[in-house]
Amino acid sequence: MTNPQDPATPASDRAVLALEPGDLSGHTIDELSDYLDAGRLPANPSIDQSASCQLALDALARLREVARTLLDVDVRNAPAADDNWVHRILDNIGLEARAGRDIPLRHPAPSAELVLTEGAVRGIIRTAGDSIDGILIGRCRFSGDVSVPGEPISVSVEASAVWGKPIMAAADRVRQAIHRELQTHTELNVTDIDVTVHDIHMADDAEADDQAGVR
């Protein structure tokens, strides 16, 4: 091959792969690309036995290989997503609260109307669940109409548990904590709290400190 360090030689003067049908035993680059896409199957002897086709296929495969890594290298070479960058994006989104439905609360004065939003109740559930050591709450769903007082409601939460701790015990504590907080802050008629641990995560530094008893 040619010396890549020699900028004096124009590209057109270099020995390059012949990629026209006349050079490729009558096949086209388009055909060879499709053949490569198909995993070189079904085998086409005319392509497989042509040395020039094999060279071209190898070159196409190399090109694809580089293409596949292109974005990863771009990301590695790009400046890291710093706080300014992230906050500029978040500020422009205007992350409106996801209030959801209104959940009524009784008020001593019959004329006054008091509600909690569904979003606020989800927040209460998240905080209650997160307070259990090693647990991170994910999605939280209600079934039953939370906007109707007294309606039976079941709560289902997804959670991720830290690696190395008993999951059943943690899930029980999550259930209890959520139940307690919902009792304290809402008038929802909660019939079930279903906790699904869908993932195990590794302890982050703070959790690792907790586990080691470090203050």
Partner 1 sequence: MTTAAPVRPLENAHDRTLAGRAADGDVRAFEVLVRRYGPLMRAYAVRILQSNDESDDVLQESFIVAWRQLPDLDDGGVVKSWLMRIVSRKCLDRIRARREHVDIDDVQPAAPASQSPPRLAEVHSTYDALGVALRTLPENQRECWVLREIAEYSYEDIGEAIGVPASTVRGLLARARKNLIHQMEVWR
Nearest-angstrom CA–CA distance, 118 and 100: 5
DSSP string, 24-52: TTT--HHHHHHHHHTTS-S--HHHHT-HH
Residue 86 in contact with residue 95, Cβ under 8 Å? Answer: no
89 binds partner 1 (CB under 8 A): yes
56 binds partner 1 (CB under 8 A): yes
Beta bridge partners of 196: 158
Query: Footprint of partner 1 on residues 153-212 (CB under 8 A)?
Result: 158-160, 181, 184, 198-199, 201-202, 204-207
Contacting range for partner 1; rule: CB under 8 A; set: 39-47, 123-131, 144-152, 166-174: 123-131
In the list 41, 70, 112, 212, the residue contacting partner 1 (rule: CB under 8 A) is 70
Residue 86 vs 109, nearer CB to partner 1? 86
136 binds partner 1 (CB under 8 A): yes
In the list 38, 54, 85, 107, the residue contacting partner 1 (rule: CB under 8 A) is 85
Q: How far is the CB of 126 from partner 1 (least distance, A)?
A: 7
Nearest-angstrom CA–CA distance, 128 and 136: 10
Residue 157 in contact with residue 210, Cβ under 8 Å? Answer: no
Residue 174 in contact with residue 155, Cβ under 8 Å? Answer: no
Q: What per-residue string of b and e applies to 27-61 under the rule 16 or more CB within 10 Å gives b?
A: beeeebeebbeeeeeeebeebeebebbeebbeebe
Contacting range for partner 1; rule: CB under 8 A; set: 23-31, 40-48, 143-151, 186-194: 23-31
Q: Which residues sit at the interface with partner 1, rule CB under 8 A?
A: 1-2, 4-7, 10-12, 14, 16-17, 19, 28-30, 33, 56, 59-60, 62-64, 66-67, 69-71, 73-75, 78, 80-81, 85-86, 89-90, 92-93, 95, 97-98, 119, 122-124, 126-128, 130-131, 136-140, 158-160, 181, 184, 198-199, 201-202, 204-207
